[in-house]
């Protein structure tokens, strides 16, 4: 996997190209500057260290000072200052803000879901529906928002989906093959209905994903699990709206997963207010 610096350098190269023409044309090389990072709507912050790293890669003379921390819920207002060469602040601005806005948007969306889910045993999980190459940062943003991470990639967990079941010839057979292939990894299997749940429980799944079941079916699924294999955990997924989450919590499932935490999170409105300083 590419390191964070490798990805940030590639993103900077995409944005800067042969040079920041506007900045080079209008700003003297040695002009110092100060800028404030402004949150323009309430939200949960994420990506502060990443944004600071962007400016460090642009120019190590840039100093970034945060008055907040990742995972902190803030109202509108200034939460950071930057000082250094004006050209460097302007050149790194867009990428740093893009990452801050995106990651803070994910953290804020996650916090909304966590708050809607309420207190209880059900935990909120993310999915693999993330921006390519930035999954680790988006999953970190989910944690900053109070959620928990599902598997990070295809290699760290077995999740048998409907297409795996179809290709393997059935739920029990897919679970058997998964156990045989990777006996040290936990096996999760997606099921669409109660008969599928019963088959997965009896086949030895460690967790069962209840796909697109309504509230009544979720409650029945929990009761079935409690009778057949009470040690197995249940994850509900599909159509997990904010309004529905309290009812899902009441059903007694262990986990709720929502792709909307990452694939549909709106960017948080953050800007950089730039104040040129007198040249020494």
Active-site amino acid positions:
94, 129, 161, 190, 211
Q: In the 8-state DSSP scheme, what is residue 47?
A: -
Q: Check if the beta carbon of residue 11 is closer than 8 Å to that of residue 244.
A: no
Handedness of CA 50, 52, 54, 57 (dihedral sign): negative
Which of 150, 180, 177, 174 has the alpha carbon at shortest distance from 162?
A: 174
Check: CB of residue 41 under 8 Å from CB of residue 268: yes
How many whole angstroms separate alpha carbon 88 and alpha carbon 33?
9
Between CA 118 and CA 130 the distance in angstroms is 25
Q: How far lies 244's CA from each of 112, 113, 218, 225, 260, in Å?
A: 13, 10, 12, 22, 14
CB neighbourhood size of 78 (10 A): 13
Instruction: Give the helix/strand (H/E) hosting 158.
Output: strand 158-160
Say if CB 135 and CB 102 are below 8 A apart: no
Give 3-state DSSP helix, strand, coil % of the chain, rounded to 5: 45, 20, 35
130 backbone dihedrals φ, ψ, rounded to 5°: -125, 170
Cα(96)–Cα(92) distance, rounded to whole angstroms? 6
């Amino acid at each position: 996997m590419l390191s964070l610096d490798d990805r940030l350098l590639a993103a900077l190269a995409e944005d800067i190209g042969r040079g920041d023409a506007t900045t080079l044309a209008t700003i003297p090389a040695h002009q110092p500057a100060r800028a404030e990072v402004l949150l323009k709507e309430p939200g949960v912050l994420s990506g502060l260290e990443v944004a600071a790293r962007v400016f460090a890669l642009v120019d190590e003379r840039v100093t970034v000072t945060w008055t907040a921390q990742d995972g902190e819920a803030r109202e509108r207002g200034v939460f950071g200052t930057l000082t250094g060469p004006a050209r460097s602040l302007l050149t790194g601005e867009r990428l740093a803000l893009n990452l801050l806005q995106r990651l803070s948007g994910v953290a804020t969306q996650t916090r909304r879901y966590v708050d809607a889910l309420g207190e209880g045993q059900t935990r909120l999980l993310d999915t693999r529906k993330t921006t390519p190459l930035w999954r680790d940062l988006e999953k970190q943003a989910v944690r900053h928002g109070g959620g928990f991470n599902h598997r990070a990639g295809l290699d760290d967990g077995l999740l048998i989906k409907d297409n795996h079941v179809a290709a393997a010839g059935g739920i029990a057979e897919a679970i058997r093959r998964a156990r045989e292939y990777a006996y040290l990894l936990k096996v999760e299997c997606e099921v669409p209905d109660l008969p599928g749940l019963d088959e997965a429980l009896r086949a030895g799944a460690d967790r069962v994903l209840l796909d697109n079941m309504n509230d009544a079916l979720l409650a029945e699924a929990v009761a079935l699990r409690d009778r057949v294999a009470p040690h197995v955990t249940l994850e509900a997924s599909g159509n997990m709206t904010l309004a529905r989450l309290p009812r899902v919590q009441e059903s007694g499932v262990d986990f709720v997963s929502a792709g909307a935490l990452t694939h549909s999170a709106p960017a948080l409105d953050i800007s950089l207010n730039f104040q040129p300083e007198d040249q020494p």
